[in-house]
Amino acid sequence: MTTVDRLVGAGINRIDGPAKVRGTAPYAYEQDPGEPIAHLAVVQSTVNRGRITRLDPSGAEGMPGVVAVLTPANAPRLSGDLASDLPVLQSLDVHYQGQVVAAVVAETSEIAKAAVGAVVVEYAAEAPDVGLRTDRPDLYAPEKLMAGFDTDSVIGDVDGALAAAAVSIDATYETPTQHNNPIEMHTSMARWDGDSLTMWDANQGPHTILRDLRTGFDLDADQVRVISPYVGGAFGSKAFTHPNQMLAAMAARVTGRTVVFELSRQQMFSLVGHRTPTIQRMRLGADPEGRLSAISHEVVEHTSRISEFAEQTATPTRVLYAAPHRRTTHRLARLDVPPPTIMRAPGETPGMFALESAMDELAVALGIDPVELRIRNEPERDPERDVPFGERHLVECLRTGAERFGWAGRDLRPRMRTEGRWLVGTGVAAATYPTRRRRAQCRIAAEASGRYVVEIDGSDIGTGAWTALTQIAADALRTDLGSVELRIGDSRLPFAGGAGGSTGLASWGTAIVFTARDLRRQLDERYGGQVPDHGLTVDGEMPGESPAAKTHSLHAYGAHFVEVRVDADTGEVRVPRATSVYDAGTIVNAKTARSQLLGGFCMGVSMALHEESVIDERYGHYVNHDLAEYHVATNADIGEIDIAWLDVDEQRANPIGLKGIGEIGITGAAAAVANAYWHATGLRIRDLPITPDKYFRAEPALPAG
């Protein structure tokens, strides 16, 4: 298998790079249907809860260039099987602010947007209920969490162990609502040919969108085609169907035109989901040497009135550290907010902020180095499932990271280093994310010329999947990169799940490897190892989770080391340098993987210092619904980041040995920043983001002496 070593692992340039740089890689908005495109714009509810009492579209209908106005009175009826906010324009009831109550189709986007202002809507509204609090009487336990995780887990006697512990921590951490903001806004272009629908769309997996369009419009599989070869970033909000795809298809059907709907940046804050805020109470009990006896992680978060989205926030606490007594719980409040969705390692990201902050607080209380504290609590087996781990090298990540970062000799006390006006500190946190894979199909056509066409409905949302999948395919087919033509991003291609949950490459790559093996076996058995003149096409199927997922606990791991500087006078926070070391299995493309891990860490800095959607509890809207006021870390906010990974592979998970890298990069990163902030200032900020005003909120706990 010498060719395997040749391509998988190499830092090959993106094969889609030249087309993207030249502007010849068409994104959804840039597709050319060969006819003039009509534009859609939406009227959105200004109340959170209530009913439309009057809706007069006549002002908009009379404007030159307006093609149609869709309202609940005239919009096509969608199937009653659609859930959440997908039955758009199907009733006069309002469930969240920003809900689409009418849509305008016009010859240009300018006309459509102007006409939106001419639609008159009146409501009978109730006061919005949008405040998440732990003392709400209506908190409830969902039946299951996202991705099938159990809602609660209880092992041993947590309260007894906490009461008996030599040292304990009891602290509550809060993370705010956050909104997905890929550079490319959600965009859907729809065209009907008779009873068949074609949609060019920005999403994380065409088959997911196809499923909901089929349901909504009652179509057979061959009556819908969703095409998304290039996607301008996606962090969860493009994983599932949202009202935008439904609206584009409805408008195209009504008008007989090709219709495009591109969300505005402001609309990204109401129509395509968000990350729930969290309130997390962490309790840790330990002996004087820092060995944990008890871990308790209780999570309160929100969902919407019309959907249940139960984020799996405390699940990393179930696997990261040993302790005989343990408890995790999740409770939800149903609020008058838009439906939350997945965003950048949903669950693990806010959950790891709480767990890894609490571990830092415990290290401080014990006077133990926080790296050492984590090493002392390394479990031998998965502490809740009671199965062995697969490859687990968290301790090596911590040790390697400490070495690369220059952790040795760090003063345990806070606020001990200054450089001019800057208070300087360092912090550490662990990272973890599950390793999984999902069912996928693949078709490979071998041609006598030596060329292979590899077809699978995977999607490249900017991660490098175009390139990494080609590398995997070329190795599996024992050929070179140039002999493989990869086709992805089209629901006409063999079925695959979307890019999400860090499962993309594991799922699609495994389907490709299985299919390639079958192809090579058939060539050997039937054609003496040669591709016949008429070629050979093989369809393959990878059924889903690895058998080892039942017998082993499979996860990626990492460790972040961060330096933080805080201006002693203004509270301004900078992150000049960081080191992250990962145990993420086989790294398929060293170049795109490094980019992805860099991006994940930057999102962690962004979460720690900037991102927060502020809701006005009186009026129920997100007041900072644009990038001028919803701050995302930019290049100027990021210093030197050192990314490294261990040379391990996880053959239990998939034949490539990879663990998935989409989400491990962000997990734990915000805690590392917050822990470094504490070390710099002596201030423990338990509610993100760490904005400059919080520096002035409390007096720092200064070291004794």
Catalytic residues: 663
Instruction: Yes or no: say if 45 and 98 are a contact pair by the CB < 8 Å rule.
Output: yes
Interface size with ligand MOS, residues (CB under 6 A): 10
Q: Which of residues 471-530 bind ligand MOS (CB under 6 A)?
A: 500-501
Toward ligand MOS, which CB reaches closer, 257 or 344? 344
Smallest gap from Cβ 506 to ligand MOS, in A, equals 13
| Nearest residue to ligand MOS, by Cβ distance, number only | 236
Smallest gap from Cβ 607 to ligand MOS, in A, equals 13
Smallest gap from Cβ 192 to ligand MOS, in A, equals 29
Toward ligand MOS, which CB reaches closer, 235 or 677? 235
- Is 50 among the residues that bind ligand MOS (CB under 6 A)? no
Smallest gap from Cβ 155 to ligand MOS, in A, equals 28
Please tell me the distance from the alpha carbon of residue 555 to that of residue 654, in angstroms, as a whole number: 13
Instruction: Yes or no: say if 104 and 43 are a contact pair by the CB < 8 Å rule.
Output: yes
* Among 592, 561, 577, CA closest to 672: 561
Interacting residue with ligand MOS among 55, 145, 239, 566 (CB under 6 A):
239
* Among 595, 699, 584, CA closest to 650: 584
Toward ligand MOS, which CB reaches closer, 43 or 661? 661
Asked whether the bond before 206 is cis by omega within 30 degrees of 0, the reply is: no
Smallest gap from Cβ 237 to ligand MOS, in A, equals 8
Mark 291-330 with x for binding to ligand MOS (rule: CB under 6 A) and - for no binding: ----------------------------------------
Smallest gap from Cβ 204 to ligand MOS, in A, equals 6
Contacts of 22 (CB under 8 A, 6+ apart): none
* Among 307, 251, 323, 311, CA closest to 276: 311
Q: Candidates 17-25, 234-242, 243-251, 297-305 — which segment interacts with ligand MOS by CB under 6 A?
A: 234-242
* Residue spans of beta strands (DSSP E) within 66-164: 66-70, 93-94, 100-106, 120-125, 153-155
Smallest gap from Cβ 262 to ligand MOS, in A, equals 20
Instruction: Yes or no: say if 483 and 452 are a contact pair by the CB < 8 Å rule.
Output: yes
Smallest gap from Cβ 686 to ligand MOS, in A, equals 24
Place of tokens 């078709």: 443
* Among 437, 436, 434, 431, CA closest to 349: 431
Mark 62-101 with x for binding to ligand MOS (rule: CB under 6 A) and - for no binding: ----------------------------------------
Toward ligand MOS, which CB reaches closer, 67 or 664? 664
> How many residues are listed for the chain in this entry?
705
Smallest gap from Cβ 611 to ligand MOS, in A, equals 14
Toward ligand MOS, which CB reaches closer, 301 or 369? 301
| Token pair for 26 | 């068409």
Please tell me the distance from the alpha carbon of residue 365 to that of residue 358, in angstroms, as a whole number: 10
Q: Candidates 233-241, 314-322, 355-363, 440-448 — which segment interacts with ligand MOS by CB under 6 A?
A: 233-241
Report DSSP letters for 24-64, one per residue: -S--GGG---SSPEEEEEEEE-SSSSEEEEEEE-HHHHTST
Mark 197-216 with x for binding to ligand MOS (rule: CB under 6 A) and - for no binding: -------x------------
Toward ligand MOS, which CB reaches closer, 239 or 366? 239
Toward ligand MOS, which CB reaches closer, 204 or 654? 204
Please tell me the distance from the alpha carbon of residue 693 to that of residue 687, in angstroms, as a whole number: 12
Mark 338-367 with x for binding to ligand MOS (rule: CB under 6 A) and - for no binding: ----xxx-x---------------------
Single-letter amino acid code for the residue at 199? M
DSSP state of 589: -
Toward ligand MOS, which CB reaches closer, 239 or 472? 239
| Token pair for 39 | 């534009």
SS3 of 329, please? Answer: strand
Toward ligand MOS, which CB reaches closer, 461 or 672? 461
Q: How far apart are the first and last CA of the chain?
A: 63
Please tell me the distance from the alpha carbon of residue 634 to that of residue 575, in angstroms, as a whole number: 12
Q: Candidates 104-112, 161-169, 235-243, 353-361 — which segment interacts with ligand MOS by CB under 6 A?
A: 235-243
Instruction: Yes or no: say if 676 and 614 are a contact pair by the CB < 8 Å rule.
Output: no
- Is 236 among the residues that bind ligand MOS (CB under 6 A)? yes
* Among 520, 500, 505, 522, CA closest to 456: 505
Q: Candidates 127-135, 337-345, 443-451, 596-604 — which segment interacts with ligand MOS by CB under 6 A?
A: 337-345
Handedness of CA 559, 565, 566, 572 (dihedral sign): negative
Which residues form the interface with ligand MOS (CB under 6 A)? 204, 235-236, 239, 342-344, 346, 500-501
